[in-house]
Structure 1
Amino acid sequence: MHLVHDPASGAADPIAFDDFLKVDIRIGTIVAVDPFPEARKPALKLTIDFGPAIGTKRSSAQITRHYRAEDLVGRQVAAVVNFPPRQIGKFMSEVLTLGFPDGDGEVVLFAPDLRVPDGGRLF
């Protein structure tokens, strides 16, 4: 996961609302989790169902500190679905799964507190 700015330095530069609307953030349900032992940093390969309009996409996520693979299937997560795919080793990551850093900088997944339909867009 590459950050546009250093989150410790404060807020990012202001953007226009139209720029925000270009980022397509959707909710999906994790349907499969696979190990990713060849990743440089501990990570998991997620398969996420974003509903019929977008379908199933894959993502590499460095979330092994707080999450076990067997606990993730069925969990809803938010992801950016309109970035170009990114090659991570031999794996093609198609979406960017979203999270926030905890006090130690480890990823905590971002998800709704109530179940919503897969494919719903953030607004």
Structure 2
Amino acid sequence: MANYNTDLVTVIVDGFIVTGFADGTYISCGRNEDKREFEVGAQGDVVVVENADDTGFFNFTLQQTSPANSVLRALFKSGASFAVSVNDPNDNSASSFASECYVANLPDNEKEEGSGDREWEILAADYEEI
């Protein structure tokens, strides 16, 4: 039987260890475009096309009380690039990294009866899974 432990997953944004993730799917990351695709000629010849687009994304869902909200808000306001890494040492899990990232926009400013969530979208210019 395999085990998976979410406590082993670490997210680092601009050197800050992110904590205070919301329940459910709290991290989503990936490439914006396929790395490879086929082009098929008129006579059925197949060519593998390598896509040079290495852009990607990191989406985080944080609790409203997470200290990372202030860090991400400051990075958005500065407009400066920063690094993001998601390290998952669980068996058969991929880790992701990008050295040139930007906060796409501020999350919606919603107020709820209880503690709400904040959804952050990070744009990555050089996304890679390692």
Q: TM-score, normalised by structure 2?
A: 0.27
Length-normalised TM-score, structure 1: 0.29
